[in-house]
């Protein structure tokens, strides 16, 4: 198995020397391949608000959806799994960034807990696209994607590496391009490329800030480098880019925090498991009706038992979903910190809110330009499969039929 785990700098240097020695590919490789790019936290309206020549080029020359509607809760791991599997959260099982599961005692799923996120027990019902492709013998590669660091159904992408938030945008692109310098049969058919800077800036300074603007420009420059690299290798003919984001971002003023412990005074067994715009509680034997009645006193919070969640939220009961799930009013958030822990930008709200809408762009040779209606994050996988299974030499309608 080809892997770049923790050895990517040496591998990248060797690949660069090999490419310099042989020069650009002598003929274009039209084998269908897809590069799936995720710009975490990129809100749908950012494209019109922030200078980004590469992204605007992709939108003008390709297909742009009005929005990509995230699954609920609009969390990073939850929606990256929905995008790559086509499954809603209660099917793929990653129902939030933080989870408890009675079937996995003694371990809490948290993003910063490598032992937890690489435990296959959390991923047993997920079905990422790279699994089916690898089973068919088609190479895949991930420059980061939730789930790629663990064997799911006994399978991982051919190339992957542990998440490293310090790996720069240029380094991420160059690493991915180095994998395309291989002989044709070993080049990735599906590759993912993940950028977190826009999300980080949105959290720390709020959407629309100067920091968000700078992060978008940095990511835009990295995408330009990717396109130039594919073109210089003669690989642009067969490559389609799908650019998505897992969710948007909403401003949350420091004084619009709901203090969680006060809401459950008198119910000593109740424990909060989720915080933020989408929060949740485990009852541990306390009376559901009584707890819901107490929560109903908070006017900025809408709470339901997990078997009676609103259909519009799109989340169904699962062992990892807390007994009660709450959603704060837009611009409000639930916290357990009395002294305040300002997070100027947050996400997690249902996808019915425009602030949570993400981006969807489809670009490449044969993609007819034009707008698209808003679409669900669950629809992306079918587009990826269509793009990977088509051949413009044998099918004149490809890839026009891939939506």
Instruction: Give catalytic residue positions.
Output: 76
Cα-flanking dihedrals φ and ψ of residue 204, to 5°?
-80, -25
What distance in Å separates the CA atoms of residue 314 and residue 71, rounded to the nearest whole number?
A: 7
Task: Choose among 286, 317, 177: nearest CA to 236.
Answer: 177
d(CA 319, CA 307): 11
Q: Measuring CA to CA, which residue among 14, 55, 84 is closest to residue 226?
A: 55
Alpha carbon 12 to its chain's center = 25
| Residue given tokens 């980061």 in the structure block | 144
Looking up tokens 């742009």 gives 64
259, β-bridge pairs: 335
User: Cis peptide leading into 104, omega within 30 of 0?
Assistant: no
Residue 272: which region, alpha, beta or left (left: phi > 0; alpha: psi -120 to 50)? beta
As to burial, measured by CB atoms within 10 angstroms (0-12 exposed, 13-18 middle, 19+ buried), residue 72 is buried
Among the listed residues 144, 148, 88, the one whose alpha carbon sits nearest the alpha carbon of residue 117: 148
CA-wise closest residue to 279 among 295, 293, 265, 266 = 295
């Amino acid at each position: 198995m080809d892997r770049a785990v923790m050895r990517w700098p040496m591998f990248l240097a060797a690949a660069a020397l090999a490419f310099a020695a042989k020069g650009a590919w002598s003929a274009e490789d039209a084998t269908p391949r897809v590069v799936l790019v995720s710009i975490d936290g990129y809100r749908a309206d950012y494209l019109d608000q922030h200078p980004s020549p590469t992204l605007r080029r992709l939108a003008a020359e390709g297909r742009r959806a009005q929005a990509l509607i995230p699954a609920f809760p609009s969390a990073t791991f939850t929606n990256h799994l929905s995008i790559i599997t086509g499954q809603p959260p209660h099917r793929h099982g990653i129902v939030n960034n933080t989870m408890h599961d009675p079937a996995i005692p003694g371990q809490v799923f948290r993003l910063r807990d490598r032992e937890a996120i690489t435990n296959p027990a959390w991923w047993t019902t997920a079905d990422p696209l790279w699994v089916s492709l690898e089973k068919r013998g088609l190479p895949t590669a991930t420059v980061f994607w939730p789930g790629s660091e663990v064997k799911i159904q006994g399978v991982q992408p051919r190339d992957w590496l542990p998440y490293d938030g310090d790996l720069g945008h240029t380094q991420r692109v160059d690493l991915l391009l180095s994998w395309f310098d291989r002989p044709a049969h070993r080049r990735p058919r599906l590759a993912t490329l993940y950028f977190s800077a826009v999300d980080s800036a949105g959290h720390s300074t709020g959407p629309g800030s100067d920091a968000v603007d700078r992060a978008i420009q940095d990511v835009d420059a990295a995408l330009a480098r990717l396109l130039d690299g594919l073109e210089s290798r003669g690989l642009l003919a067969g490559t389609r880019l799908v650019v998505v984001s897992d969710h948007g971002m909403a401003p949350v003023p420091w004084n619009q925090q709901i203090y969680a412990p006060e809401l459950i005074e008198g119910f000593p067994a109740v424990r909060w498991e989720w915080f933020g715009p989408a929060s949740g509680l485990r009852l541990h034997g306390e009376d559901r009706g009584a707890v819901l009645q107490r929560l109903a006193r908070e006017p900025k919070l809408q709470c339901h038992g997990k078997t009676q969640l609103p259909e519009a939220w799109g989340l169904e009961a699962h062992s990892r979903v807390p007994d009660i799930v709450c959603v704060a009013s837009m611009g409000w958030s639930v916290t357990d910190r009395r002294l305040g822990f300002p997070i100027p930008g947050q996400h997690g709200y249902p996808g019915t809110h425009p602030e949570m809408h993400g981006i969807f762009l489809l670009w490449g040779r044969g993609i007819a330009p034009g707008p698209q209606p808003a679409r669900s994050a669950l629809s992306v996988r079918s587009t990826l499969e269509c793009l990977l299974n088509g051949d413009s030499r044998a099918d004149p309608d490809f890839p026009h039929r891939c939506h």
